[in-house]
Amino acid sequence: MLIRKPTDIRSSEITDERVYLDRRGFMRAAAGIGAAVAAGASLPGLVAGMAPRPRFSDEEELTPYEAVTGYNNFYEFGTGKEDPARNAGQLVTKPWTISVEGMVEKPATYDVDELIFPYTHEERIYRLRCVEGWSMVIPWLGFSLSNWIDRFRPTSQARYVEFTTLYDPDQMPGQRRSVLDWPYVEGLRLDEANHPLTTVVVGVYGRSLPNQNGAPVRLIMPWKYGFKSIKSIVKIRFTDRQPATSWNVAAPNEYGFYANVNPDVDHPRWSQAKERRIGEFRRRETLMFNGYGDQVAHLYQGMDLRRYF
Ligand SMILES: Nc1nc2c(c(=O)[nH]1)N[C@H]1C(S)=C(S)[C@@H](COP(=O)(O)O)O[C@H]1N2
Ligand SMILES: [Mo]
């Protein structure tokens, strides 16, 4: 697991970020960041509590910042890959609340700051594999969802967690079209949600999360197809029933509840055996559980993964 441990926040470390960007060849990709740092400015949007350290894993090349923030799926802002970057800028993400409901001892409506600031934000470099057949390698900032689950205290009956995205067609023009049953809903089994790889994401590339990537908070489960990684969350509900999730409801034979990356189980309309890493030409083999099998396969022991796809 590629997790960079955070360090204390010191202004000197802002320089480290410049070095980090520079060494990785991202000055071009993140010109705005470089310019701000060079000018001695504090980084606009740098996530409080996060200080990136230039400790690299060169296992895989990171996908450039422009692609991560310019080629997105966020249907609330349109179905084109460039629509979210174009249309999400006006989304108001402050103030923002998240209501915690259902089978928990601590149901409440929390201000997002109360849920973000207490936790240490680590850089976690994960592959993201979209069900459509492309992939990226992204340096997210965040922490394990299990921190929240411990805090909310699900009751012994709770077996699943459901997450809901904001519903606001005035701000999210894509919701005026019935591409999906809005709002966007996703869900996990409680043990999947508690897995340390399941990440609450608050930033990317050392900066706070751009709206098109799901500000102010979204999830990432790197062993699942991208559509499970729900953006701009406003509600978390604990339940004893498997949640009805947006894509599964829209096309149950195409998008399963589990949606674990699996090269052996094709989408009914295309193969899932290969993927195109954004920025590359030749396609790569898709790995079982997106390459995270050592860490997550035990969650599905004994399950027929063709049936529970
Ligand atoms: N609310 C919401 N969350 C969403 C989506 C969406 O349309 N709406 N798209 C999903 C899909 S299909 C993918 S591949 C990832 C893309 O995340 P990224 O744009 O940050 O790379 O977000 C997921 N989360
Ligand atoms: Mo996706």
At 217-268, the pLDDT tens digits run 999 999 999 999 999 999 999 999 999 999 999 999 999 999 999 999 999 9
For residue 85 the two structure tokens come to: 């970057």
In a shared domain, residues 208 and 173: yes
226 CA to centre of ligand 2 in angstroms:
4
In a shared domain, residues 248 and 158: yes
What SS3 class is residue 208?
Answer: strand
Question: Does residue 305 belong to any structural domain of this protein?
Answer: no
Residue nearest to atom 23 of ligand 1 (CA): 227
Nearest listed ligand to the Cα of residue 136: 1
For residue 116 the two structure tokens come to: 């973000």
Residue nearest to atom 6 of ligand 1 (CA): 74
What is the model's pLDDT at position 22?
37
Question: Does residue 72 belong to any structural domain of this protein?
Answer: yes
Residue nearest to atom 15 of ligand 1 (CA): 226
In a shared domain, residues 24 and 120: no
Q: Which of 3, 295, 276, 217 is nearest to 125 (CA)?
A: 3
Give residue 29's domain range: 1-51
CB 103 within 8 A of CB 239: yes
What is the model's pLDDT at position 108?
98
Give pLDDT < 70 ranges for the chain: 1-58
> Kind of pairing, strands 160-165 and 185-189?
antiparallel
What is the model's pLDDT at position 35?
35
Residue nearest to atom 10 of ligand 1 (CA): 227
At residue 247, φ and ψ (nearest 5 deg) are -70, -35
User: Which ligand 1 atom is nearest residue 136's CA?
Assistant: 21
DSSP secondary structure code for residue 13 in this structure: H
43 CA to centre of ligand 1 in angstroms:
26
What is the model's pLDDT at position 2?
54
What is the model's pLDDT at position 59?
74
In a shared domain, residues 100 and 47: no
What is the model's pLDDT at position 3?
57
User: Which ligand 1 atom is nearest residue 214's CA?
Assistant: 20
Answer with the one of 51, 69, 85 that is the final residue of a domain: 51
In a shared domain, residues 215 and 123: yes
